[in-house]
Amino acid sequence: ENPPVRRNGRHQRRWRRPRARASPQDHQDGAPAQGQEALRQGHPAVPRLRPRRRLRPLKVRARSIARDSHLRPLAHDFPVPLTVSLSDLSAVETVVPARGKALVATDLSIAIPEGTYARIAPRSGLALKHAIDAGAGVIDADYRGPVGVVLFNHSEVDFVVKPGDRVAQMIIQVIATPEVAEVEDLDATVRGEGGFGSTGV
């Protein structure tokens, strides 16, 4: 029986969703009926995540230094939040020695919005087929020089980069620049100073 609720001088009944009845199979599994129902239909008490608010598209100004190449976006166009991926094209032929590294110059200089940074990321195809990785790739928003890509060759043969090859991906990502306050002590946590495998291998 649902208890009456008094609204505007009248009695109205507050209807409640009936509880799911336990089935014989639920009791055989040894789990409560409510838990089984929650697994099937989703528990109403669990809040759903709200979709992330879409931000305005980021605008990156790019300049070709030699004026003989063009910026190429990736082949696909997925709506990735907070990031925009572009291909870094090599400007000159460079040899990345086996088990070594090399700085590959590009024909690109950029101006990215304040509150963002550019990250040079490796390409999955080069990593899988040629064991080529990209590293040391953080570009600040106030840098205006040519973009360089540090490539690491983990294979046993030299890797030749030709002009126009797509050697890496540039990801423009929004970051937070917090104010740093110097203090005498930090708040205590359960983990404390444990690091380098203290939480497991």
Tens digit of each residue's pLDDT (9 = 90 or more) over 136-184: 889 999 999 999 999 999 999 999 999 888 899 989 899 988 899 999 9
The residue ranking higher by pLDDT, 88 or 130, is 130
Residues 92-119 have pLDDT tens digits of 899 999 999 999 998 888 899 999 999 9
DSSP 55-109: PPPP--EEEESSSS----B-SS----TT--EEEEEBSS-EEE-TT-EEEEEBSEE
**Domain map (residue ranges) of the chain:** 61-174
The residue ranking higher by pLDDT, 63 or 175, is 175
- Phi/psi for 64 (5° steps) reads -85, 120
Tokens encoding 161: 């980069």
Across the chain, mean pLDDT equals: 75
Q: What angle do CA 36, 37, 43 make, to 5 degrees?
A: 110
Quick one: DSSP state of residue 132?
E
> What is each CA distance from 12 to 27, 39, 50, 170, in whole angstroms?
37, 33, 33, 62
| Domain spanning 61-174, CATH class | mainly beta
Strands (DSSP E) contained in 122-165 are: 132-135, 138-139, 148-153, 159-161
